[in-house]
């Protein structure tokens, strides 16, 4: 499976305010941070370079520590910019993890379905960062701060000064369903992983 290629590590947010949105408090969307996608080389605070395909991520339960969320941009292979919510989680576990992506090829529609973290042995990840466009689930946060400046969130990766952001010590989400452009992690452990090629009719949700 070809995962999105991430841009190189940035120490500060470099995207301009133009073309970005200021996200209001959407605690469920915040959770998005936790999801996988591919392992990349470090944290990108505001800007992602991605493939032309979004993907789905599902999990029956996500538990994480060290969370933040702010606005950003994902630029696809055609140079089109997509507004995203960038979320970060320092450490996370995901039970019954699922990832699916569908691609149109000269041979027709091809899907890739990846599953892991079942049978009471959740997948785990550290230093997760994701650029998402949608998420559903039942979420709870510990010691959450809403409306902080994106450049002052309590995670290593941060956004631009003056942008809306939120952070929390812990995050928990049940029945996670997420759509994203890209995700990266410093370490991602997929226990009991299976990978299946499909005709694109089967996704995570």
Query: pLDDT digits over 2-27, tens only?
Result: 434 333 333 233 233 333 333 333 33
In this predicted structure, what is the pLDDT of residue 113?
A: 94
What distance in Å separates the CA atoms of residue 43 and residue 204, rounded to the nearest whole number? 26
The pLDDT of residue 50: 63
Nearest to 168 by CA among 43, 42, 30: 30
Spans in the chain with pLDDT lower than 50: 1-48
Q: What are 81-111's pLDDT values in tens digits? A: 888 999 999 999 999 999 999 988 888 899 9
Q: How much is the pLDDT for 43?
A: 32
pLDDT computed for residue 63 by the predictor: 98
Residue in this structure with the two tokens 């039942």, named with its chain if needed? 138
Please state, in angstroms and rounded to a whole number, the distance separating the CA atoms of residues 119 and 191.
10
For residues 17 and 47, what is the distance between their CA atoms, to the nearest angstrom? 12
């Amino acid at each position: 499976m070809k995962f999105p290629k991430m841009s190189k590590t940035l120490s500060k947010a470099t995207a301009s305010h133009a073309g970005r949105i200021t996200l209001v408090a959407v605690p469920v969307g915040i959770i998005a941070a936790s999801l996988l996608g591919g392992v990349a080389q470090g944290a990108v605070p505001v800007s992602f370079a991605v493939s032309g395909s979004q993907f789905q991520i599902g999990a029956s339960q996500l538990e994480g520590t060290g969370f933040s969320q702010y606005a950003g941009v994902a630029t696809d292979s055609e140079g089109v910019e997509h507004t995203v919510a960038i979320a970060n989680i320092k450490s996370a576990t995901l039970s019954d993890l699922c990832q699916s992506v569908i691609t149109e090829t000269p041979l027709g529609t091809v899907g890739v379905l990846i599953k892991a973290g079942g049978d009471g042995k959740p997948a785990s990840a550290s230093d997760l960062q994701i650029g998402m466009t949608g998420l559903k689930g039942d979420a709870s946060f510990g010691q959450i701060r809403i409306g902080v400046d994106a450049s002052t969130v309590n995670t290593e990766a941060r956004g631009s000064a003056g942008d809306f952001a939120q952070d929390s010590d812990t995050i928990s989400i049940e029945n996670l369903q997420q759509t994203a452009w890209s995700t990266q992690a410093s370490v991602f452990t997929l226990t009991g992983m299976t990978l299946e090629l499909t005709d694109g009719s089967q996704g995570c949700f």
